[in-house]
Amino acid sequence: MVIPVETATITVTVDGRPYTATVEARKTLADFLREECGLTGTHLGCEHGVCGACTVLLNDSAVRSCLTFAIQADGQEVMTVEGLAAPDGTLHPIQQAFWENHALQCAFCTSGFLMTTYAFLKENPNPSEEEIRETLTGNICRCTGYQNIVAAVADAAARLRGEKHTQPVGGV
């Protein structure tokens, strides 16, 4: 019989880099990313699958990292918000669109929104506003009122389709 274990040594590839650690079975993927990988861009809000702040990509699909155990991600690929920007710090077009559209205030929820948007626009590069709004229902923001987030996602889609050039950061 398969013998159940309380701890295991696992290797998870996060943003292209392998991380190995011995973890308790009960450690969530979110806690693994923050505590074992030091990647604190993934935020934890509700920790029961409602707020979407902890959204990451697991094997290319957006999931709530508070509802997946790290041990389940052994041998798999995870992408976090830290994997969005270029190595030289140039923002990803989605991040740039969020910045320019003022789609964040306190920013606690932002990494979750960014990862949800990243996965969404890969599958649907030209979404309607209704589709954007429906997708964003899985993420809660208590500051913005969502209007600018919706605008930012539409703007990011246009940038990723090559219809709009990203403005350089800084200036005014």
Partner 1 sequence: MKPATFSYAAPRTVEEAIELLEAYGDDAKVLAGGQSLVPLLNMRLAQPKVLVDINAVEGFDEIVEEEGFVYVPMRVRHVQGERSPLLREKLPVVSEAVHQIGHPQIRNRGTMCGSVAHADPASELPAVLMALDGRIVVKSGDGEEQITPEDFFLTYLTTSLQPGQLVTALRFPLLPPNSSAAFVEFAQRPGDFALCGVAAYLHLDEGGTIAEARLALMGVGGTPFCAEQAEAVLQGERPSAALFAEAAETVSQEVDPDSDIHASAEYRRHLAKVLIPQALEMAAARLGEER
Binding site for partner 1 (CB under 8 A): 1-6, 8, 24-28, 31, 47-49, 52, 55, 58, 61-64, 66-69, 71-72, 116, 119-120, 134-135, 137-138
Evaluate whether 11 touches 75 at the Cβ level (below 8 Å): yes
Report d(CA 113, CA 143) in Å as an integer: 13
Q: What is the DSSP string of 102-166?
A: T--SS-TTHHHHHHHHHHHHHH-SS--HHHHHHHHTTS--SSS-SHHHHHHHHHHHHHHTTSSPP
Residue where the block lists tokens 């509802």: 67
- Of 53 and 96, CB closest to partner 1: 53
Task: Say how many CA atoms lie within 13 Å of 128 toward its Cβ.
Answer: 3
- Of 10 and 84, CB closest to partner 1: 10
Q: How far is the CB of 168 from partner 1 (least distance, A)?
A: 32
- Of 39 and 63, CB closest to partner 1: 63
Q: How far is the CB of 171 from partner 1 (least distance, A)?
A: 35
Q: How far is the CB of 50 from partner 1 (least distance, A)?
A: 8
- Of 47 and 77, CB closest to partner 1: 47
Q: How far is the CB of 8 from partner 1 (least distance, A)?
A: 7
Compute how many other C-beta atoms are within 10 angstroms of the C-beta atom of residue 162: 8
Q: How far is the CB of 2 from partner 1 (least distance, A)?
A: 5
- Of 51 and 151, CB closest to partner 1: 51
Strand (E) or helix (H) holding 93: helix 93-100
